[in-house]
Structure 1
Amino acid sequence: MRIRSVAFVSLSVLLLGWLPLAPATAATPVAPATAVTPPPEFGSDYDDPRTPAPPVAVPNTKHCEVQIVRNQFRNFDPYQSTYTPPAACQGPWSKVVLRMHGEVKGVQYDRLGHITIGGVGVFRTSTPEPSTDGIAWDVQKDVTAYIPLLRTPQPVVMELGNVVDDTYTGVLDITVTLDFYTTGSNAPAAKTADAVLPLQDQRREDSDLIGTATLPRNTTRLLGEIYVTGSGGGCEEFWDTSAPAETGYSCPDGSPYREVDVSIDGKPAGVALPYPYIYTGGWSNPYSWRPSPAPRAFDIKPLTYDLTPFAGLLTDGKPHEFRVHVAGVPAGQSGWFTVPNLHVWKDPHRTQTHGGLTSYAVSPLSKTDDVSGAPGEAGAVRTKASRSLKISGYLDTSEGRIRTTVQRTLTNVSDHVWEAGESRDSLTASWRDTSTTISGGKVDRTDLSYGKTGVLTFLPNATIPGGYDVVTDLSIYDTTRTTQSITTETYDGRASWIYGVPRDQRHATGTQTVRYRSIGHGCYDHTLSAVNGVYTKDFYRC
């Protein structure tokens, strides 16, 4: 857990939009739970963490498990192994699921982990902070899109930096498996890209990552993905509450706006908004995240970019430069983790495709920051920002000329206000990232909207010299709309503890409710509520 004199939160709004809703289906029935009486405050243990999201849907076919990680992480040494395809479940496969099981006890920070297979990033996560008695947790992720990698043996690397000493005693005991599901009735072979590629010859320049890729000469479609987070341990973890240095704010990282851009051979090709992750030691209140974490904390999703309009420029068999740039990071400031991959589809009947750009419009960033405050005084940063692009291109393929147009619009509104000494710190912020791809008469749209609203207070305790009451009120919403479904995950909670005293005198309390709702292919609605680390409600409805 990290202490800084600031922490924020978020308020949740569920918007049902333009999606045609499928008929609702009954949720999995849950037996009535025995009434639970929570403790008056957090003790030496709390319930094992879980999230309200549904498990990955899998077919009723034969499946095989391949273990790729089994390690106790005590330091910053990466774990390495070799993946071998399952002999008893040879492809084709209908689905592949990554499952991670973790255990830890004692005292430990939240830690960030990442897995690559064949140099390709496939999974990023953060860990819960443990109780004295210990906790266990599970994460699962659909990794079917990486099947092109998994057909042959590949090197595996998991990084999960940790420090174990006399104070921080928690050893992270991690097991990761891949479950392969064969094809069968109602379980056809998965449709994926033909290749998944990492960038080669990677190097860094400040917050930029630069590498090259040589695409197949018969490429017909190109998608980029980037696993990207502001790192733990520095102010870029709290980038959405940054303020200019002249305000005297505790994280003087300039404007709170960040953007993750992709350029190809020096030409801007894609823009996206990073997700404002909150890890389980974040926002100055680890008790806000016990037992359930903030949305996405255990399964950090990559940003995605449709780069198909550029594909016709990249089929010459030569290496091309890809640059990932995190806009808004002050010069010389570190703290961003970026792992890019490329998903490539190929023409099955041609050895080479040809094409080019037909229209190109990328707007400059439009941003205003209304800033007030000085060291030791009250202050505020009120930000409004927007960005858009529209790029079209064509490819001549065995199916004829295919035209693709990609549109993307980004907006961010943030209102960050603090009192003198940051004794009361509030944030209301929202992000929206909408992308539309029109290709070969097909339209795909993804609309991401998320936000936080809340207040942190950090005030002297009335009776304990040197003690401070830390109180956090938080609400978060995270909504994804596609042409097939709408999903929304929310968090609402309040937590308090006393800073500056021994752990057994913190008198920590916390209430939280997390909920996951999905409408599209049926209906899923799951809510978990907890008081002082103990789940008091776990129910489904639709």
Structure 2
Amino acid sequence: MRTPRRRPVTAVLLGTVLVLSGATAASGLPSAAPTAGPSVVPAAAPPPEFGTDWDDPRTPEPPVPVPATRHCTVRVVDDAFDDFDVHTRGYTPPAGCAGPWSTVVMRLEGSVAGRQFDRIGYVDVGGVRMLTLSTPEPSVDGIRWHVEKDVTDLAPLLADPQQVQAFIGNVVDSTYTGVIHVTVDLDFYTTGRDAPAARTSDAVLPLSDTSRDGTDLVGTLTVPRNSTRLLADVFATGSGGGCEEFWDTSAPASTGYSCPDGLPYREVDVRIDGQLAGIAAPYPVVYTGGWSNPFLWYTIPSPKAFDIPSLGYDLTPYLGRLNDGRPHEVRISVVGLPAGQGGWTLAPRFRVWRDTGRSVVAGTTGTAYAGDPVVESTVSGAGDQAGHVDLDARRQLRVTGTLSTSRGPVTTTVTRRLENTSRHSWTDDEADDTLAASWTDTQEVATGHGNATPTVERTQHRWDKDGVLGFHPRSDVAGAYDVTGDLAITWSRQDSLTRGAARLSSRSETSSYDGQASWIYGVPRDQRHATADTSARATLSEKVLGRPATSWDHRLRAVNGTFVTDTVG
């Protein structure tokens, strides 16, 4: 949520006050290294409230597992971002670590000091998105943060020289002094014992000839004529600086709510030649200035804020149409946007697998079933009065396609189900603004070879957000307000691969956050009395048939800017 329209400051002005007073938001230190047993950092005594400096924030996500083989490092970004220019740099594969590689890891190191807002940016390689990120807000003394990401899926692209483009839109002047310094390295791990060459797609393709048609992103895709599998990854974010950054708490204009962007339902659709081919629920990421209380994020950012995940689509059933060697129109749109409303960044990439036994793979695409989104809501409120938006939404897509491969006929059936429940309410003048919402996005892909029992790959995302923002005038100081925030977020992903009754593999990942923060707005900085108690936990468990199970459990807690818990085990 955000500072409401009727309050004496807007969300943007509130962020300005925090920046000018030297407040910071979150960044992330390197993820903890793997450990053989529990690891505990002794608790430090926290101060009674925030001072002028505090610990660099951390994230609890597990580090990328890497083999014990030799690796080479190639730097692809080394820039200071102080404007809205796109920074370009050439990339050449590492001569000392020729592919194929077992693993490729991206490592970002960032730093910023002074006064600055949180910013949104990206890193592209060869015209496809590698990373969508948001940045921390700095303290005067400065902060550093770290992101690492497994980018092995991009190995087919990285095998050849490419252009790298990096962008972090940033304003630097006499008021906003924070220049954002970022380096990005790619570590290429060679193959060796227990480190075979990674199994990746044969090609990674961008969307070509892109343009905007209203709020839709439109372009063309041409795949090899012997393609047998097609996956799309779409990076989709509501942009900062406008109400679409807070789309999950929007309300119809009739309610009088401060962000009148219609009902809080969004969906990112992919169409091929005008036919609906994929649906997905976007992740309602909270940036480091979010919920009108950046103190919530000073030491621990919200889940995935520094590496915003893409939305995945299995488009294999459409290859029967796409394998004709011609360019086909791909349209990506955000469902639920009010007419004429923008504010979304959309960046797709496509991964393609080919049949080495045939130059052309023919096939058929069955009729897709996709009803319209079912969105049921009750709405109340007017002017400055209390109101609410209760919403229940769902949608389903099912499509089947068959390809005649060199190994016989292969039938792929994709089923996608989206569900969203939201309970959003506010009191008079939005003094208390409360949200309890959940999103579930489930994709099942059944792949059958001839008459054999099909394998079923199931991926389920679930996101939960439950919290309240308070903004109450103080009786003892004219023009001053108590700003409070209490928020819990959970991001989770469950993957499984089965064949009949046999479970071949499973993977479960969660990242959760729980925080409470308060401060006084409208008083000198030394009278702000800001406090925060925030915690986070990341868990990961993975089982593959015939291999030992692996797991990860990392807990963090910080009080008033000082970490008191950092435990792995």
TM-score (norm 2): 0.90
Alpha-carbon shift at residue 507 of structure 1 (Å): 1.7
Which secondary structure state, in structure 2, belongs to the residue aligned with residue 472 of structure 1?
A: strand
Change (3 A) 1:471 1:388: same
Residues 391-430 of structure 1 mapped to structure 2, 5 A cutoff = 391-430=399-438
Amino acid at match of 1:499: Y
Amino acid at match of 1:180: F
Please, what is the CA RMSD of the aligned residues? 1.5
Tell me the equivalent position of 1:476: 489
Tell me the equivalent position of 1:54: 62
Which secondary structure state, in structure 1, belongs to the residue aligned with residue 348 of structure 2?
A: strand
8 Å Cα contact 2:42-2:565 kept in structure 1 = no
Tell me the equivalent position of 1:13: none
Amino acid at match of 2:527: Q
Among 477, 488, 491, the residue aligned to 2:513: 491
8 Å Cα contact 1:105-1:171 kept in structure 2 = yes
Among 461, 466, 475, the residue aligned to 1:453: 466
Residues 124-523 of structure 1 mapped to structure 2, 5 A cutoff = 124-440=132-448, 441-483=454-496, 484-520=506-542, 521-523=549-551
Distance of 2:42 and 2:209 partners within structure 1: 57
Specify which structure has the bigger relative contact order, considering alpha-carbon pairs within 8 angstroms and separated by 6 or more residues.
Answer: 1
Change (3 A) 1:519 1:399: same
8 Å Cα contact 1:380-1:415 kept in structure 2 = yes
Distance of 1:149 and 1:208 partners within structure 2: 26
Amino acid at match of 1:285: N
Which secondary structure state, in structure 1, belongs to the residue aligned with residue 295 of structure 2?
A: helix
Deviation sequence 1:391-423 (CA, Å, 0-9, x none): 000011111110000001000000000011000
Alpha-carbon shift at residue 371 of structure 1 (Å): 0.4
Distance of 1:282 and 1:32 partners within structure 2: 30
Which secondary structure state, in structure 1, belongs to the residue aligned with residue 254 of structure 2?
A: helix
Question: Percent of aligned pairs with the same residue?
Answer: 53
Alpha-carbon shift at residue 32 of structure 1 (Å): 4.8
8 Å Cα contact 1:27-1:524 kept in structure 2 = no
Distance of 1:499 and 1:33 partners within structure 2: 34
Which secondary structure state, in structure 2, belongs to the residue aligned with residue 149 of structure 1?
A: helix
Distance of 1:532 and 1:514 partners within structure 2: 15
Alpha-carbon shift at residue 30 of structure 1 (Å): 5.0
Deviation sequence 1:78-126 (CA, Å, 0-9, x none): 1110011001111110010000000111111111110111101111111
8 Å Cα contact 2:59-2:301 kept in structure 1 = yes
Distance of 1:379 and 1:185 partners within structure 2: 62
Deviation sequence 1:134-166 (CA, Å, 0-9, x none): 111100000000011101110110010011122
Alpha-carbon shift at residue 37 of structure 1 (Å): 0.8
Alpha-carbon shift at residue 505 of structure 1 (Å): 3.2
Distance of 1:88 and 1:126 partners within structure 2: 33
Which secondary structure state, in structure 1, belongs to the residue aligned with residue 244 of structure 2?
A: helix
Distance of 1:223 and 1:334 partners within structure 2: 26
8 Å Cα contact 2:42-2:564 kept in structure 1 = no
Deviation sequence 1:163-199 (CA, Å, 0-9, x none): 1122211110100010000000010001111111111
Which secondary structure state, in structure 1, belongs to the residue aligned with residue 340 of structure 2?
A: coil
Alpha-carbon shift at residue 359 of structure 1 (Å): 4.0
Distance of 1:487 and 1:433 partners within structure 2: 15
Amino acid at match of 2:462: S
Distance of 2:2 and 2:411 partners within structure 1: 50
8 Å Cα contact 2:124-2:165 kept in structure 1 = yes
8 Å Cα contact 1:114-1:160 kept in structure 2 = yes
Change (3 A) 1:353 1:132: same
Distance of 2:134 and 2:437 partners within structure 1: 23
Tell me the equivalent position of 1:23: none
Distance of 1:533 and 1:128 partners within structure 2: 14
Distance of 1:275 and 1:50 partners within structure 2: 21
Alpha-carbon shift at residue 463 of structure 1 (Å): 2.1
Distance of 2:52 and 2:412 partners within structure 1: 57
Unaligned 5+ residue runs, structure 1?
Answer: 8-25
Distance of 1:502 and 1:404 partners within structure 2: 63
Alpha-carbon shift at residue 518 of structure 1 (Å): 1.4
Alpha-carbon shift at residue 480 of structure 1 (Å): 0.7
Tell me the equivalent position of 1:10: none
Amino acid at match of 2:153: A
8 Å Cα contact 1:66-1:179 kept in structure 2 = yes
Tell me the equivalent position of 1:19: none
8 Å Cα contact 2:43-2:563 kept in structure 1 = no
Alpha-carbon shift at residue 3 of structure 1 (Å): 4.8
Tell me the equivalent position of 1:11: none
Alpha-carbon shift at residue 517 of structure 1 (Å): 1.1
Distance of 2:517 and 2:284 partners within structure 1: 20
Among 27, 42, 60, the residue aligned to 2:50: 42
Distance of 2:40 and 2:355 partners within structure 1: 54
Distance of 1:350 and 1:313 partners within structure 2: 17
Distance of 2:486 and 2:40 partners within structure 1: 30
Amino acid at match of 1:506: R
Distance of 2:532 and 2:219 partners within structure 1: 45
Tell me the equivalent position of 2:14: none
More divergent stretch after superposition (518-527 vs 441-450) = 518-527
Distance of 2:412 and 2:41 partners within structure 1: 52
Distance of 2:105 and 2:57 partners within structure 1: 20
Distance of 1:64 and 1:412 partners within structure 2: 44
Which secondary structure state, in structure 2, belongs to the residue aligned with residue 89 of structure 1?
A: coil
Which secondary structure state, in structure 2, belongs to the residue aligned with residue 146 of structure 1?
A: helix
Amino acid at match of 2:185: T
Change (3 A) 1:191 1:500: same
TM-score (norm 1): 0.94
Amino acid at match of 2:458: R
